Structure 1
Amino acid sequence: MHNLLKMNRYSLLRSRIYWCGCAGTFLLGLLTGSTYETDVLGAEGGIAVTLSDIFIGMVYDSTFLLIIASSLLALVLGREFSWRTINQEVCAGHGRGAVFAGKVITYLPAYNLMVILYPFAGCIREASRFGLIDGGDFLSVIIKAVLYSFLLNSAAFLYAVFFCCLFRNLAKAIAFTAGLNFVLSLYLGYGMKLGLPLSFLPIYQIRKAVSTQSLFVPSCWLTAGVYASVMIFLSWRTFRKCDLK
């Protein structure tokens, strides 16, 4: 009975954290949407002329949100280890493979949705100014951006999954997840100015995907595939061997 109450309390807390994150991201998009009228694809990206430009610009510039969203994921999943709710799931007879797959399948789409709310909110803010005269193009832009965002931004969330499995400690998982994503974001910023190698970064590939007209960008798929394969393998290997008794 005590364990059931503890799991119910955790589920309520997890939902509150997630929906507060979604609400904050959406509000931030509403507040900052107008700033992309003259700041499409970075400071040198030109003036927005359609709603598609606003959407692309906000996806291009949403790297900072990955630090916040991945840290929230580390907070939520880290608590499952700290509060031993995952231990209880395993001890209740659920296979480790099923538990691990369930966490990945649940959390990756959920936190990708949190990040993509940002450009959607900005477009709602700017719809009255630009209208939907490019309706067909706007729809194709959304589909492409959502697809590549899910593929490439998932790397940041898989870092959180890995650190949670590795440390099984809430504070360490958040610190390492936020720290790694922050360092990679700094490297991206300075790397673009200094001409450093960037192609290996998922956060660079998402910018490449949305700033090109091509629907199929092979380097993005390759980067996403490599990161997903490596991070899921490392996370599962760590989770499979960790002590959950």
Structure 2
Amino acid sequence: MSNLLKHRWYEIRHNPIFWITLAVCCAFALLVTNFTGLKYLTDPPMVVGISYNIQGFFSALTADIIFPLLIISGAFTAMMLGQMYSERTIDQEIAAGHSRISIFASQCIIGFAVPNIAVFLAIFSGCLRWVGSIPAPSAGEMLPYLFRVIILLLLLNFSLFSVCTFIVVLFRDTAKTITISALFLLVACWTMPALEQVAPHVHGTLYTNAPSLSLLLHPAFLMRYVLYSTLTPLQGLWSAGVAIGWTVLFLGIAYCVFRRCELK
């Protein structure tokens, strides 16, 4: 398994699509922060508890750009995984004696790592652009918040990408994989605001204080929900549970398909 992962990372590092993905995500984040800047801290907030410091800027920026970043990074990652089938890399790994479960697990690790690396690298690049221009909270205040948010967002991002993993093993074709994965991520991320609009909002803000069950089961909504500074431990556990539930369901289905599929 370790040799397979080393080989997988070697392929990813030498794939220009990986570096294009990182560059596009970072360029997008920097472009947005240059145009929006301090408006994130003065306009009606999308998340509760925004404060006029770099932590508040991080929360508002993440809430605003995480969906397009996930669509970009998720679609290109699905494309890279799809290439492994189109170029018969998977066939060669099976012929070399690797088990299907180890091959599938290595694909899942890549699917977890690459989109999250791209998303967080872009977000932190956008925040660094304003470091020094915005007050910084104390480390005791900011670090626990960042730790909680990053862990939950890692899980939630991968919960949506787990559907793309199913798409990859179902079609095993680069063109179909990137097209359908991008379409799924687009629909998943941009139908959520439609559901959110019918929920009651706190006066003068863009966030809801009474999300419906359909929203609380939607990973895209939870990506903004976990940014709330007032998030309780129970709400955090719920968000993690939903993310794990989506991941287990779709990766389980994906593995069943992969285990039985005929590779040509």
2:20 counterpart residue number: 20
> Would the aligned equivalents of 1:36 and 1:57 in 2 still touch at CA under 8 Å?
no
- Shift in CA distance, 149/40, structure 1 to aligned 2, threshold 3 Å: farther
1:149 counterpart residue number: 153
Give the gaps of 5 or more residues in structure 2: 1-6, 200-211
Query: Which of 53, 56, 59 is 2:59 aligned to?
Result: 56
- Counterpart residue identity of residue 50, structure 1: N
Query: Which of 198, 209, 214 is 2:226 aligned to?
Result: 209
Residue 17 of structure 1, CA deviation: 1.1
Deviates more, 1:130-139 or 1:155-164: 130-139
Query: Under a length normalisation based on structure 2, what TM-score does the superposition of the two structures give?
Result: 0.82
- Does residue 166 (structure 1) correspond to residue 170 (structure 2)? The answer is yes
Query: Which of 126, 129, 137 is 1:125 aligned to?
Result: 129
- Does residue 221 (structure 1) correspond to residue 240 (structure 2)? The answer is yes
> Would the aligned equivalents of 2:29 and 2:125 in 1 still touch at CA under 8 Å?
yes
Residue 91 of structure 2 aligns to a residue in which SS?
helix
Residue 23 of structure 1, CA deviation: 2.1
> Would the aligned equivalents of 1:163 and 1:176 in 2 still touch at CA under 8 Å?
yes
Query: Under a length normalisation based on structure 1, what TM-score does the superposition of the two structures give?
Result: 0.87
> Would the aligned equivalents of 1:74 and 1:161 in 2 still touch at CA under 8 Å?
yes
**RMSD (CA atoms):** 2.5
Residue 53 of structure 1, CA deviation: 0.7
Q: Following the alignment from structure 1 to structure 2, what is the Cα–Cα distance between the partners of residues 127 and 225?
A: 34
Residue 77 of structure 1, CA deviation: 0.4
Residue 78 of structure 1 aligns to a residue in which SS?
helix
Matches within 5 A, 1:95-134: 95-134=99-138
Matches within 5 A, 1:1-20: 11=11, 15-20=15-20
Residue 141 of structure 1, CA deviation: 2.6
1:135 counterpart residue number: 139
Q: Following the alignment from structure 2 to structure 1, what is the Cα–Cα distance between the partners of residues 255 and 60?
A: 35
- Counterpart residue identity of residue 22, structure 2: C
- Does residue 233 (structure 1) correspond to residue 236 (structure 2)? The answer is no
1:3 counterpart residue number: none
Q: Following the alignment from structure 2 to structure 1, what is the Cα–Cα distance between the partners of residues 135 and 44?
A: 24
Q: Following the alignment from structure 1 to structure 2, what is the Cα–Cα distance between the partners of residues 204 and 21?
A: 24
Give the gaps of 5 or more residues in structure 1: 1-6
Aligned residue pairs, count: 238
Residue 58 of structure 1, CA deviation: 1.9
Identity across the alignment (%): 26
1:72 counterpart residue number: 76
Deviates more, 1:209-218 or 1:71-80: 209-218
Q: Following the alignment from structure 1 to structure 2, what is the Cα–Cα distance between the partners of residues 140 and 102?
A: 31
2:40 counterpart residue number: 39
- Counterpart residue identity of residue 40, structure 2: D
> Would the aligned equivalents of 1:58 and 1:118 in 2 still touch at CA under 8 Å?
no
Deviates more, 1:132-141 or 1:17-26: 132-141
Q: Following the alignment from structure 1 to structure 2, what is the Cα–Cα distance between the partners of residues 176 and 219?
A: 29
Residue 57 of structure 1 aligns to a residue in which SS?
helix
Q: Following the alignment from structure 1 to structure 2, what is the Cα–Cα distance between the partners of residues 175 and 41?
A: 38
> Would the aligned equivalents of 2:79 and 2:178 in 1 still touch at CA under 8 Å?
yes
